[in-house]
Structure 1
Amino acid sequence: MADRPAALFAMRSRHLPEFFPPEVMGRLRRLVSVDPDIVAERFDNSRVLEALASVEILITGWGCPPLDQAVLAAAPRLRAVVHAAGTVKSHVTAACWDRGLVVSSAAAVNAVPVAEYTLAAILFAGKGVFAVRERYRGDRGFVLGSIVPGVGNFRRRVGIVGASRIGRRVIGLLRHFDLDVHLADPYVDSTDAAALGAHLMSLEEVLRTCDIVSLHAPSNPQTRHMLGAAQLALMPDGAVLINTARGDLVDTPALTAEASSGRLSAVLDVTDPEPLPAGSPLFDLPNVFLTPHVAGSHGNEVERMGRSAVDEVERLLAGRTLAYQVHQHEIVRIA
């Protein structure tokens, strides 16, 4: 099939078989002419530069270098960037938009495991599992049939901050439970929130009234430290903060102080800085549950993003509307 358009992979080469295992790679190679032995971890490699000269579709992933003006000049036929992962902010530059490139992202697909992680964290937090575990660990015993006071997920108030792809998916998952779900997002009105399955509130109202608050806002200058000492102080005693979005949404020293006092608990998959310094108190606090940025796609979930990218390539070549096209004006509001 000599008429297949030329494509090039741009990502860390070690991730290529995770995104595109044999079956998925085979399907992609029936659509485009692409050499899996040429993976652009840098754009100054001679083989990569030779490939860029004829490439029409760039298939990107984790570790793709920035697509600056020099890269685009070396790729005069490039018309589309299909990202097989989440955010495109680190590699899609202003030059790409100026060139009029079509950009697609698998962020919506990556939202699936993040929302699943968040759902589990919300339900565990509502059940008081983290504190109960610590008590059980300390006492080494319990009275069968005794009722643990103050826990449970019946009409628990949950606050979602940010109606992002992940935030919306989390709200959708929470529909199946007897929870009162509230949403804070300046770009959503009360009608839209109700359609999602949530009650619209201001951020301050969510923080004051919700037992569990889960962050799903993008990282930008306006949202940096959106939860600082003053905002965290609004949260009721015993509340739980969940962050699977970006670490810099939260002022880490302020959260550390609240958690160290025992007033607030936290489930943190992202932190600022990331990783935390080895001496951070957050590692040892019994009311803080830390994971190393694993809520997004890992293991067999990475293949799902590769499959999504191949689907997008197929749509592109068929002249159909892309399912996950990214537009320049959306950049400031997405992760």
Structure 2
Amino acid sequence: MSRKPKALLVMNSGTFADQFDSTRLERLGKVVDLGADPWTDSLDGAELTERLSDVEILLTSWGVPRLDAARLERMPKLRAVFHCAGTVRSFVSEELWDRGILVTNGADANAIPVAEFTFASIVLAGKKAHVLSNDARTFREDWSYTTRRGELGNIGRVVGVIGFSRIGRRVVQLVQQLQDVTCLVSDPHADPRAVAAAGGHLVPLAELLPASDIVTVHAPALPETRHMIGAPELQAMKDHATLINTARGSLVDTAALEAECATGRIVALLDVTEPEPLPADSKLYDLPNVIITPHIAGSLGTETRRMSDAALDDLERYLTGRDLLAQVLHEDLSLSA
């Protein structure tokens, strides 16, 4: 029997408990050597020196420390990192790439619940359900408030998707379930044929904003996308339109959003904000046309095990010499989260 490579799980304790139950630890133990203690939340303790000197594979998730030069020096045999979460930006370093260490992530798996959450938000936004539930607390038995938020219903709507990312693509596909709904997509890097195949129509952002009843943001958080939705973009949206952000708070200018939403003209459904969480005195908390959820669209609880399974799938492919499904390349980080 060939020797199993030595591996270590690196993440915070809560994540380890959520993502690696006995079934997944048993599956992992069949292909790698986990030693007596498979998990740590630190790579800095002196007691880890011997263990780290032999480790060849890391399985990481939320809470993994940055793999900088000093930590990599302690792991001279490290050759692959299988990340059981989405973005790898928080822990990868130039030294890691320079050493040629392979990296994968669970972004595709994490895209599933975010797209599902967004699609549900789109359907409810068509009926103005979130904001009308806030109005109900004010107007109570006087149901005339149902006419205050514009036309209700999902037939004939225009949904604008900003960013044809992993999640954006899934959202476009899910929107096809709605009757007589047009889906516009804005993304300067998207292939028009791929957008059309998913059911969308590729247009410039300046065309998407005034045409859409619902605008949902799925661009990556990059220096060039910071505040891509600012005052001019918000002012270009239709009266009574809804802005959904399940991507990153930095994509929307919070001050501009506060000012626009304070007029009552548009609705905002925010699962992410900048900063996160918002300060206690933020105006957005008190506006009835703004709904804030605490960053729950992505994988939570048992959903996170989908990302563990994806990492284990790629680990097995790696160990048997097959092509990987979720490898992250250094150059990918210029266009993805």
- Structure 1, unaligned runs of 5 or more: none
Rounded Cα–Cα distance in structure 1 between residues aligned with 2:158 and 2:230: 21
Rounded Cα–Cα distance in structure 2 between residues aligned with 1:131 and 1:82: 41
Rounded Cα–Cα distance in structure 1 between residues aligned with 2:35 and 2:107: 25
Structure 1 residues 272 and 87: alpha-carbon distance in aligned structure 2, compared to 1, 3 A threshold: same
Structure 1 residues 149 and 10: alpha-carbon distance in aligned structure 2, compared to 1, 3 A threshold: closer
Aligned to 1:303: 305
Once the two structures are TM-superposed, the CA of residue 299 in structure 1 deviates from its matched residue by 1.5
Contact (CA 8 Å) 2:115, 2:167: kept in 1 or not? yes
Once the two structures are TM-superposed, the CA of residue 39 in structure 1 deviates from its matched residue by 3.1
Once the two structures are TM-superposed, the CA of residue 13 in structure 1 deviates from its matched residue by 2.3
- Which amino acid is 1:186 matched to? P
- Which amino acid is 2:108 matched to? A
Contact (CA 8 Å) 2:212, 2:241: kept in 1 or not? yes
Q: Provide the secondary structure at the position in 1 that maps to 2:30.
A: helix
Q: Provide the secondary structure at the position in 2 that maps to 1:53.
A: helix
Aligned to 1:165: 166
- Which amino acid is 2:83 matched to? H
What do the CA deviations read for 1:128-166 (whole angstroms, capped 9, x no partner)?
A: 1123323433333377xx999611111200000001101
Aligned to 1:290: 292
Once the two structures are TM-superposed, the CA of residue 49 in structure 1 deviates from its matched residue by 2.6
Contact (CA 8 Å) 1:40, 1:64: kept in 2 or not? no
Aligned to 1:255: 257
Structure 1 residues 79 and 212: alpha-carbon distance in aligned structure 2, compared to 1, 3 A threshold: same
Rounded Cα–Cα distance in structure 2 between residues aligned with 1:17 and 1:319: 30
Rounded Cα–Cα distance in structure 2 between residues aligned with 1:305 and 1:35: 23
- Residue 329 (structure 2) aligned to one of 303, 324, 327: 327
Count of residue pairs brought into register by the alignment: 334
Instruction: Output the TM-score relative to the length of structure 2.
Output: 0.94
Counting aligned pairs with the same residue, the percent is 47
- Which amino acid is 2:95 matched to? A
Aligned to 2:56: 56
Contact (CA 8 Å) 2:19, 2:302: kept in 1 or not? no
Rounded Cα–Cα distance in structure 2 between residues aligned with 1:252 and 1:36: 48
Q: Could you tell which deviates more after superposition, 221-230 or 41-50?
A: 41-50
Contact (CA 8 Å) 2:270, 2:292: kept in 1 or not? yes
> Superposed, which structure 2 residues align to 1:60-209 within 5 Å?
60-141=60-141, 150-178=151-179, 179-209=181-211
Does residue 17 of structure 2 align to residue 17 of structure 1?
Answer: yes
What do the CA deviations read for 1:168-198 (whole angstroms, capped 9, x no partner)?
A: 1111111111211000000114322211210
- Which amino acid is 2:140 matched to? R
Contact (CA 8 Å) 1:159, 1:212: kept in 2 or not? yes
Q: Provide the secondary structure at the position in 2 that maps to 1:278.
A: coil
Rounded Cα–Cα distance in structure 2 between residues aligned with 1:318 and 1:312: 10
- Which amino acid is 1:118 matched to? T
Instruction: Output the TM-score relative to the length of structure 1.
Output: 0.95
- Structure 2, unaligned runs of 5 or more: none
**Alignment RMSD:** 1.9
Once the two structures are TM-superposed, the CA of residue 15 in structure 1 deviates from its matched residue by 1.5
Once the two structures are TM-superposed, the CA of residue 283 in structure 1 deviates from its matched residue by 1.3
- Which amino acid is 1:177 matched to? L
Rounded Cα–Cα distance in structure 1 between residues aligned with 2:267 and 2:304: 30
